[in-house]
Structure 1
Amino acid sequence: MDPTWLDLAQVPWAAEPAGLLPARQQMALSLGWHIILACFGVAFPAMILVAHWRGVYRGDEVALGLARRWAKVSGVLFAIGAVSGTVLSFEMGLLWPGLMGPFGDVLGLPFAFEGLSFFVEAIFLGLYLYGWGRIPPKRHLLMLVPMALAGVVGTYCVISVNAWMNMPVGFAIEGGEVVDVDPWAVLFSSGALLQFAHMWVAAYMVVGFVVAGVYAAGMLRGRRDRHHRLGFTLPFVFATVAALVQPLIGHVLGLRIADTQPAKLAAFELATETESPSPLRLGGLLVDGEVRWALDIPRLGSIIARNSFTEPVQGLETIPPADRPPVNVTHVAFQTMVGIGTLLAVAVLVYWFARWRGRDPLANRWTLRAAVAAGPLAVVALEAGWIATEVGRQPWVVYGVLRTEDAAGDNPQVWILLAATATLYALLTVGAVVVLRSMARRWRAGEQDLPSPYGPEAAAAGGGRRADDAS
């Protein structure tokens, strides 16, 4: 547990539950690992849908081939995400009994809908994967629609719970008991929609840049056929739109923080004192209560954070020491997210400007190298954003209602669970890399229709007529 946000004279180390530190570490590991897979569940079906649509309605065999390959990759990632998601569902109760005990009725409905969405997505993913050659082309294409919608609905339900942790609604506390529970208020809280929009667009950034980067890497190795160019361009278009829209959504979402979580905003801006107007502070760390190594831009902090030329950012001096988040971690994570997001937005503008001027950016090796780097950078921005959001809410797990230390259990054996979880995720990561590399190697060798581990042969249903051939 990071002591920087605690007044140790008031909250001694002995008061911490034995399960607090391993619970923090395990949630950080699980959420940080699972969120990347969740992005593919949200954004990848839409990209597959566009590729398949081109194949069916425009007779584009290359696009249809991309849809088929991407669907198989999606199946592998979905299977791995199902494991990590199951681990997370058990962790909520095991690691945080002080949260799920009293507030289980409040959070039950969003989690139930998320589970239903997962099963819907799994069903239609299976129908899509095994429908090649068995379902008429246009009907086969429609299998992607509920799959994509289920991913969006499931993500919204999970994000609504996180939004509730930041802005709790839908209950009252009387005599120490949670009463007047309204789980629908959690699903449709004022903070849920904006926070979901921020995550939804981030998913398209991550998946778009990662998938485009894979094909950029192939072109760097000399594979400059139409398959690679279309494989790059299609997800890059999604990533472009997301990269340009995301700063606007983030700005609107950030404007709420001054009223809802002023301590988090102070940490974001590294505002040790309330200043009017407030400067924008680039870089810097808080060392012994003083800001060092920062570049201050006058007035810009008030303009960006408060939409005002004079309205100040509330400083940390107004926040009791026991209620402050870990300032340096929150500040660095926030600026990392914003910095990378700005860099990616500028990069896509430069790319499309070059295209508009009649140049071919993909003929330039530095452009391809930048495209390869954009995928990992988008992932780092995603992780940094979640660190800023979650660490910035500390010391509260439910803001203003329940402290994180009061939600954790007192079982030291949680360390064993952390070790087991880390081992499981390491094995899943290795397995995913091995399987995906094997699939890519076989595709490059000319195997277009990789055999499935089970399921009827295409010839057994439809006389061998394949949907992609029929299109």
Structure 2
Amino acid sequence: MDNFIAARSQMALSLGFHIVFSCIGMVMPFFMAVSHLIWLRTGNPNYKNITKAWSKGVAIFFATGAVSGTVLSFELGLLWPEFMKHAGPIFGMPFSLEGTAFFIEAIALGFYLYGWDRFNRWFHWFTGVIVGVSGLLSGILVVSANAWMNSPKGFDYVNGKYINIDPIAAMFNDAWFSQALHMSLAAFAATGFAVAGVHALMIIRKNNVVFHQKGFKIAALFACVAALLQPLSGDISAKDVAKRQPAKLAAMEAHFETEKGAPFILGGIPDEKEKKVNYAIKIPGVLSFLAHGDFKAEVKGLNSIPENEHPPIAITHFAFQIMIGLGVLMMITAVIYFFALWKKKEWLTKEWLLKLFVIVTPMGFLAVEAGWTVTEVGRQPWIIYGVMRTADAVTPMPGIAYSFYVFTLVYVSLAVVVTFMLYRQIKMVNILYDVKEGVQ
């Protein structure tokens, strides 16, 4: 494994783990705050118990997210020194603000975890809200930095030099809103379905049914609303990518020929040599509509883009198809759940509906990983789109492959530890709150 592949693999591994921790850290505090608010208004002890149980999960993922995020910060400088040399002064502002949001989140979480029966009850709840808001802002600011890599702005690139730097323009680049919206909704959907799935499994097993029913409803509502809104953000993102990164859009759809009325491709296996997609279902005109709002609009194909600027087509295409497929399954689940709430309330206690949520449990995070793959792999061969190639940014330091092996071991170990801690936490919840089973 050469240094370039090792550096990219290590970064992909780190991001792949961190994005799960950060999504949960962004979203779980909102679930916690809603449950806490319901307890304050109703006095129902089940909601207090749910809040306390969720707050421990928030603490676990805050700690692991802080560790994995710190590693990523060091990796940017160690693995991509040429990138940070030039890009740091331009897009450093969102990282600095993210650090501020992180510290606010840490302080608020400390107040929240140790504030039970010590603070005014409404002030205590408010500290939980601050945890959620600062966590969400932290995520949005990091996405803004990544969006800059996809849509560089706030500087002039003249004769190999970066001049006239404007950090504000760089932070609010053309891609930040669409990426931040899409990522935030994805985080709510992924975390919501994961939490709802765990509660659904506990209900099926007849463990503390009332407790888990109430937790399930809060998580399911967040997840289902986000899943139904996600296609709208996806449409915004698709039009943005079509305008700024036509090569990425073409790779997402394995779209080889520039044409009007371009079809939307479902499935299929790209054949890069023959420049076609085998075994695909093509829906005429839909790609043109998604990209430009016109069924007859022209969509640029890979044939009109220099081959040395093509992203890895197969990986990008398969990741996009996985993201779309899982997103559709989550939408269907959301529609069924809202229909049950509206017309078929008896479905809410049916085991088949609970099993559906159990099946969907991992889909949100799988879709997040696939979507992040589309974003990052689809930008290649550029680390700063159209300005700096990834190969030109990698460190010349030897031995990066060994670093990749070590970090793989560290992250796998971290995943095992976090899984064990969550498993133990769920068991403790069932033991501690079993006595509350009769409380309605």
With the length of structure 1 as denominator, give the TM-score of the two structures: 0.89
Q: Is it true that 1:73 corresponds to 2:48 in the alignment?
A: no
Partner of 1:359: 345
Distance 2:421 2:282 in 1: 49
| Residues 133 and 271 of structure 1: CA distance in aligned 2, closer, same or farther (over 3 Å) | same
Q: Is it true that 1:110 corresponds to 2:90 in the alignment?
A: no
Moved over 6 A (4+): none
Q: Give 3-state SS (helix, strand or coil) of 2:153's partner.
A: coil
Deviation at 1:225, TM superposition (A): 2.2
Instruction: Indicate if the aligned counterparts of 1:265 and 1:313 stay in contact, CA closer than 8 A.
Output: no
Partner of 1:92: 76
Q: Given residue 263 of structure 2, which amino acid in structure 1 is its aligned partner?
A: P
Distance 1:300 1:175 in 2: 41
Distance 1:162 1:361 in 2: 42
Instruction: Indicate if the aligned counterparts of 2:193 and 2:223 stay in contact, CA closer than 8 A.
Output: yes
Partner of 1:193: 177
Q: Is it true that 1:395 corresponds to 2:381 in the alignment?
A: yes
Q: Give 3-state SS (helix, strand or coil) of 2:258's partner.
A: coil
Structure 2 counterpart of 1:204, from 159, 183, 188: 188
Instruction: Indicate if the aligned counterparts of 1:19 and 1:95 stay in contact, CA closer than 8 A.
Output: no
Point out the more displaced range, 236-245 or 425-434: 425-434
Distance 2:430 2:263 in 1: 54
Structure 2 counterpart of 1:425, from 402, 411, 416: 411
Structure 2 counterpart of 1:274, from 235, 253, 258: 258
Q: Is it true that 1:233 corresponds to 2:201 in the alignment?
A: no
Point out the more displaced range, 19-28 or 425-434: 425-434
Deviation string, structure 1 residues 309-333 (Cα, Å, up to 9, x no partner): 2102211110111000111111111
Q: Give 3-state SS (helix, strand or coil) of 2:268's partner.
A: strand
Partner of 2:116: 132
Deviation at 1:72, TM superposition (A): 0.8
Q: Give 3-state SS (helix, strand or coil) of 2:118's partner.
A: coil
- Structure 2 residue runs of 5 or longer lacking an equivalent are 435-440
Q: Is it true that 1:313 corresponds to 2:299 in the alignment?
A: yes
Q: Give 3-state SS (helix, strand or coil) of 1:228's partner.
A: helix
Q: Is it true that 1:166 corresponds to 2:150 in the alignment?
A: yes
Partner of 2:437: none
Deviation at 1:174, TM superposition (A): 3.0
Distance 1:330 1:220 in 2: 38
| Residues 174 and 300 of structure 1: CA distance in aligned 2, closer, same or farther (over 3 Å) | closer
Structure 2 counterpart of 1:303, from 286, 289, 302: 289
Deviation at 1:189, TM superposition (A): 1.8
Deviation string, structure 1 residues 329-388 (Cα, Å, up to 9, x no partner): 111111111111112112111122123223333432222221012120111111110101
Q: Is it true that 1:440 corresponds to 2:390 in the alignment?
A: no
Partner of 2:313: 327
Distance 1:436 1:268 in 2: 35
Deviation at 1:447, TM superposition (A): 6.5
Deviation string, structure 1 residues 178-205 (Cα, Å, up to 9, x no partner): 2211111122223211210111111100
Q: Give 3-state SS (helix, strand or coil) of 1:310's partner.
A: coil
Q: Give 3-state SS (helix, strand or coil) of 1:28's partner.
A: helix
Question: How many positions carry a matched residue from both structures?
Answer: 433
Distance 2:321 2:164 in 1: 39
Q: Give 3-state SS (helix, strand or coil) of 1:296's partner.
A: strand
Distance 2:401 2:345 in 1: 56
Identity %: 41
Q: Given residue 192 of structure 1, which amino acid in structure 2 is its aligned partner?
A: W
Partner of 1:378: 364
Distance 1:440 1:336 in 2: 30
Point out the more displaced range, 199-208 or 276-285: 276-285
Partner of 2:44: 60
Partner of 2:159: 175
Q: Is it true that 1:122 corresponds to 2:106 in the alignment?
A: yes
Instruction: Indicate if the aligned counterparts of 1:66 and 1:231 stay in contact, CA closer than 8 A.
Output: yes
Q: Given residue 77 of structure 2, which amino acid in structure 1 is its aligned partner?
A: G
Partner of 2:438: none
With the length of structure 2 as denominator, give the TM-score of the two structures: 0.95
Deviation string, structure 1 residues 402-447 (Cα, Å, up to 9, x no partner): 0010011122311122122112112211211222222222222227
Q: Give 3-state SS (helix, strand or coil) of 1:445's partner.
A: helix
Q: Is it true that 1:259 corresponds to 2:243 in the alignment?
A: yes
- Name the Cα RMSD after superposition: 1.6
- Structure 1 residue runs of 5 or longer lacking an equivalent are 2-17, 449-471
Structure 2 counterpart of 1:414, from 388, 395, 400: 400
Instruction: Indicate if the aligned counterparts of 1:20 and 1:410 stay in contact, CA closer than 8 A.
Output: no
Q: Given residue 347 of structure 1, which amino acid in structure 2 is its aligned partner?
A: T
Q: Given residue 322 of structure 2, which amino acid in structure 1 is its aligned partner?
A: T
Partner of 1:223: 207
Q: Is it true that 1:157 corresponds to 2:141 in the alignment?
A: yes
Q: Give 3-state SS (helix, strand or coil) of 2:260's partner.
A: coil
